[in-house]
Amino acid sequence: MINNKLAEKTYWIGKVDDRKVPFHRLILEKGTTYNSYLLNTEKPTIIDTVDIMYGREFVKNLEGIIDLNKIQYVVINHVEPDHAGALPILLNKAKNAIIVTTEKARELLNGMFKLNKKKYLIVKDGDTLDIGEKTLKFFKTPYLHTEETMITYCIEDKILYPCDIFSTHIANNELFNNLAKEDITEDFKVYYKLIMSPHRTYVRNMLNKIKKLDVNMIAPSHGYVLRTDAKKYIDLYDEMSTVDFNKIDKKALILFSSMTGNTGKIAKSLAEGLNSTHIKTEIFNIKSANIDDLKESALKSDAILIGSSTKYGDMIGNLEDIIKDLMTLDLSNKLGIAFGSFGWSGEAIEIINDYIKQSNMTLVDTSFIVKSTGANHLKLPLKINYFNEDTSPKSCVDAGKEIGELILKQSN
């Protein structure tokens, strides 16, 4: 390492991993880095650690730089083991260190590493922490790319520590982007597409939070520290997360069969969520639907949402016949989603799900969502217990928005 100094008393203390690294079912051909930072102020602070497999080496190196008993804080922006993995071994020696993180991250760290007995400082959006000579400010950035994530900003140095956000997967020994031997813009974009793009709306929220900050340098947790052109990289995220809705012409068909009206309410709320992402919707209650109109709508749609209440362990009305009829069409390249209101078991919803699975549509269920976004907060098929007028409309609208984002992403 030629120079690992980012600012006065601020140093990169990470690990360069120049293997072909297995990652999210891909192989990182250019390797990666796990960037960790030491802010060696009056209250020495570490921001993120390194991959779990390099924990011992990380701690040994750090012992050569600082007396570990002096470390006051370890900021954990994100708990995945490539960043929080060395935390347990570090805390074994840094006995006085307090973990600074979000409430959700504490829950996850305790689950993964059994750190229940360690000291935590739980921060909320906008909280600040005086570490002596420098002040850190924290912003929650949920789902970038997991629920607990936050970013850290050093007010005096104007350095943003966003962990995975604004990263690149390139093993390098130059550290700073202005010393890179090649243009990293394409690697930066590929990283965004792989890791951040499924969470487009959360990227927009994050950009809104940081737009008031004066960011001189971005020190992410993979790849190059963006010492120059910070604005260019923030603008690239802005550009890549912006959808030109004038160019969007996507449609979803929602058909349902409802016993008491609850499944109809779900259909309406789903449509509201979909519409908010500029997806046009057509809703059919099968009681009064014309099968030819339904088929025509299905063929024009990018997604088909099918819902039913459950009676005697089955769908109600002639929904099953309609589904069989629809399945005779070429529905390839369309997304299929099951939903419904239920009292105790909701078999109808599962049976619809099975039909979609057997069709040539792409079934969008929890497994699909987890595999394509890495998030597990949206449970599909969407099963709503009765329909709570206070809480269900919002959860169904939110589900509609998430499904809308998936439809938009399918078109990219």
Stretch that binds ligand FEO, among 80-88, 256-264, 302-310, 386-394 (CB under 6 A): 80-88
Minimum Å gap between C-beta 377 and ligand FEO is: 16
Rounded to a whole number of angstroms, the minimum distance from the CB of residue 163 to ligand FEO is 7
Q: Which of 59, 71, 78, 301 binds ligand FEO (CB under 6 A)?
A: 78
Contact 257, 286 (CB under 8 A): yes
Note whether 187 binds ligand FEO by CB under 6 A: no
Q: How far is CA 316 from the centre of its chain?
A: 37
* Contact flag: residue 401 with ligand FEO (CB under 6 A): no
User: What gap in Å lies between CA 302 and CA 410, rounded to an integer?
Assistant: 9
Cα 234 → chain centroid: 18
Q: How far is CA 263 from CA 40, 189, 325, 335, 342, in A?
A: 58, 41, 21, 20, 8
Report, in Å, the least distance between residue 167 CB and ligand FEO.
7
The minimum distance between CB 80 and ligand FEO, in angstroms, equals 4
- Choose the stretch contacting ligand FEO; rule: CB under 6 A; options: 76-84, 208-216, 295-303, 362-370: 76-84
How far is Cα 308 from Cα 286, in angstroms, rounded to an integer?
10
Residues 6+ apart with CB under 8 A from 73: 43, 44, 45, 46, 97, 98, 99, 100, 121, 129, 131
The interface region with ligand FEO, picked from 62-70, 78-86, 112-120, 330-338 by CB under 6 A, is 78-86
Distance CA 41, CA 180 (A): 29
Residue 17 or 405 with smaller CB distance to ligand FEO: 17
Residue among 111 and 313 whose Cβ is closer to ligand FEO? 111
Residue 148 contacts ligand FEO per CB under 6 A: no
Residues 137 and 205: beta-carbon distance below 8 Å = no
Neighbours of 78 (CB within 10 A): 25
User: Which range touches ligand FEO (CB under 6 A), out of 8-16, 75-83, 296-304, 384-392?
Assistant: 75-83
Report the residue number, 108 or 399, with the smaller CB distance to ligand FEO.
Answer: 108
Instruction: Report if residue 222 touches ligand FEO, rule: CB under 6 A.
Output: yes
Task: Choose, by CB under 6 A, the member of 17, 148, 164, 365 that binds ligand FEO.
Answer: 164
Cβ closest to ligand FEO, residue 17 vs residue 302:
17
Rg (CA), the chain: 25
Q: Does 15 bind ligand FEO (CB under 6 A)?
A: no
Closer by beta carbon to ligand FEO, 134 or else 222:
222
Check residue 80 for interaction with ligand FEO (CB under 6 A). Answer: yes
Residue nearest ligand FEO, CB atom distance: 80
DSSP state of 226: B
Among 83, 140, 265, 401, binds ligand FEO (CB under 6 A): 83
Q: Which is nearer to ligand FEO, 221 or 362 (CB)?
A: 221
Q: Which stretch binds ligand FEO (CB under 6 A): 74-82, 122-130, 203-211, 348-356?
A: 74-82
Cα–Cα distance, 356 to 340 (Å, whole number): 14
Contact partners, residue 223, CB within 8 Å, separation at least 6: 32, 33, 35, 167, 168, 169, 170, 172, 184, 187, 191
Smallest distance, ligand FEO to C-beta of residue 162, A: 11
Residue count, binding to ligand FEO (CB under 6 A): 8
Please count the residues of the chain.
412
Cα–Cα dist 49/46, whole Å: 8
Segment contacting ligand FEO (CB under 6 A): 9-17, 77-85, 179-187, 267-275? 77-85
Residue 83 tokens read as 């960043």
Cβ neighbours for 5, distance < 8 A, ≥ 6 positions apart: 11, 12
Based on the shown chain and the rule CB under 6 A, indicate whether residue 82 belongs to the binding site for ligand FEO.
yes
Question: By C-beta, is 184 or 255 nearer to ligand FEO?
Answer: 184
Neighbours of 229 (CB within 10 A): 15
Contact footprint for ligand FEO (CB under 6 A): 78, 80, 82-83, 145, 164, 221-222
